[in-house]
Amino acid sequence: MAIEPSPRHLNATYSDSSSESDSPDEIAPPWPESDHSDTSSDVTELDQDDFPNYFEERNGRLFPSHGNPPYPLPVDADEQQRANLQHALLFRLTGEHYRGPVQRVLREKRRALDLCTGTGQWVLDMAHEFPNVRWHGIDIVPIATRRPPDNVYFEMADVNQAFRFQAEYFDFVHARAVSMAVRDYPVLLDEVARVLRPGGLFLACEWGRCVEMADGRDPRLFVPRTCDFFNAVNQALVSRGITAIAAHIPTWLQESGHFNHIRRHIFKMPLGASPRDSQERGEIGTQFKNIMRLYANSMRVMLIETGWNSSEVEALIRGYLYEMDTVPGIVCLYSTVYARRI
């Protein structure tokens, strides 16, 4: 039985920037009319009846079907729940929704862009904190809210193609967990630099695609089945042209010639609670463990489509979940890098 996208899936007042239109890009107050000249006019609003055309069912999960994105994860209710839970937990871990001089950059009426915005929750939280900023969120699928505030605008776009915005249009560009949607990150950085004004801020946040032990022990000795799971995921992603990027972003920013004042910070997210954890860290670890269960289920289809049979995938996931439940001290690395446009 086919999965029909529910209102939870089809809940975005989206425009498709890949469509043609003679209508100008409408910008809600309080931004001045002069903003109209800064963007292209090829944006058309999607009717709700059009939304099912952007999804397809595979192995009981809902996936994007629009264009040819490399993104391997489903976009159904379970995956949206995982994304929103992870968003809230990252705030709890880091204490903020951003790193770097964001407040300084956005101290006046400004414009900001979120790449691969997903459910749009990060944009909505930032729009609440910075109501004088005009926020754009772009993604390949329309799953963000249909009723955003006046300073938020969601639209469909592929980050592997040139953005429709003119040069130096944005003051702040944010890219969180985009690695599985991007084919060539250095090329993306060139496009980010093009749409950022001089002195504008770029913030990249990415997960490492492996686990570590909090005390520095070799995880292959203590959680071998967890390592097997992540190795299988990484091999499957590489077969799709998706490579790990978190460790390379600072170098790519430097080599691009577009950025300076590059700063990186790494957070250790506990995967489960440990006896020595504080109550706060124990709660964070327990919540993240539940999120990573959803992640394992979301990766199931990709592993099967890569060539693993279903019994092998079940055994792989079962071993990973067992170690996650029984071995304390596992952590995942979350890397944040910010830089200024030269």
Token pair 């269960």 is found at 293
Element (H, E) at 95: none
Q: Contact 114/174 with Cβ under 8 angstroms?
A: yes
Triad 126, 203, 294: Cα angle to 5°: 70
What is the CB neighbour count within 10 angstroms for residue 139? Answer: 28
The pTM assigned to this predicted structure is 0.88
Q: Contact 256/264 with Cβ under 8 angstroms?
A: no
**Dihedral (C-alpha) 137, 140, 143, 149: value to the nearest 10 degrees?**
20
Q: How far apart are CA 75 and CA 64, in angstroms?
A: 7
Token pair 């994304």 is found at 83
Q: 255 is written with which tokens?
A: 């080599």
**Is residue 261 classed as helix, strand or coil in its secondary structure?**
strand
Q: How does pLDDT run along the chain (342 residues), one tens digit per residue?
A: 333 333 333 333 456 554 433 333 333 334 443 444 344 445 555 566 666 677 889 988 989 887 677 889 999 999 999 999 999 999 999 999 999 999 999 988 899 999 999 999 999 999 999 999 999 999 988 888 878 999 999 999 999 999 999 999 999 999 999 999 999 999 999 999 999 999 999 999 999 999 999 999 999 999 999 999 999 999 999 999 999 999 999 999 999 999 999 999 999 999 999 888 999 999 999 999 999 999 999 999 999 999 999 999 999 999 999 999 999 999 999 999 999 999
Phi, psi of 152 (to 5 degrees): -125, 135
Q: Contact 146/166 with Cβ under 8 angstroms?
A: no
Triad 234, 91, 55: Cα angle to 5°: 50
Q: Contact 65/53 with Cβ under 8 angstroms?
A: yes
Q: Domains along the chain?
A: 15-209+243-271+334-341 (3.40.50.150)
DSSP class of residue 51 equals: G
Q: How far apart are CA 4 and CA 22, in angstroms?
A: 32
Q: How far apart are CA 319 and CA 118, in angstroms?
A: 30
What is the CB neighbour count within 10 angstroms for residue 148? Answer: 19
| Packed helices 279-306 and 224-239: angle between N→C axes, nearest 10 degrees | 50
Element (H, E) at 30: none
Token pair 């899936």 is found at 9
50: Cα separation from own chain's centroid? 24
Element (H, E) at 159: none
DSSP string covering 182-248, please? -S-HHHHHHHHHHHEEEEEEEEEEEE-SS-EETTS--HHHH-HHHHHHHHHHHHHHHHTT----GGG
